Amino acid sequence: MVNLARPSKEEFYAKGPAQYTLIVNATPKHWTQKTISYEQVIVLAFGAYTPSDEKEYTVAFSKGPKQNPKGTMDVGSVVKVKNEMQFNASATDKS
């Protein structure tokens, strides 16, 4: 119980969701970390990530937090996530 009759310093903290729902290739995926890497998006989209010279991946995102609302990701990049953030990943065979 909080006594509002006495003057005091009150502090409130907003905590983000413990679990995020990311939309990866139009499919909802559960995520529990505050950031996600390029490689982790590929795993969510295709089940595995195996770097090779024959296959290239493209990752684009939108509806992100104010630090990174939209953009593309490259190998090794990491972005902050937000609930309902959208990712589009595609794989291309090099010929």
pLDDT surpasses 80 at 71? yes
Domain regions of the chain by residue span = 20-93
- pLDDT of 42 reads 97
> What does the CA dihedral 39, 24, 14, 77 come to, rounded to 10 degrees?
30
The two three-digit tokens of residue 67, written as one number: 């630090």
In this prediction the pTM is: 0.80
More confident: 82 or 52: 82
Handedness of CA 24, 27, 31, 34 (dihedral sign): positive
**pLDDT over 70, % of the chain:** 82
pLDDT surpasses 90 at 60? yes
Measured CA to CA in angstroms, residue 55 lies from 43, 50, 51, 78, 94 at distances of 14, 9, 7, 21, 6
Read off the pLDDT band of 26 (50, 70, 90).
very high
CA–CA separation, 61 and 73 (whole Å): 8
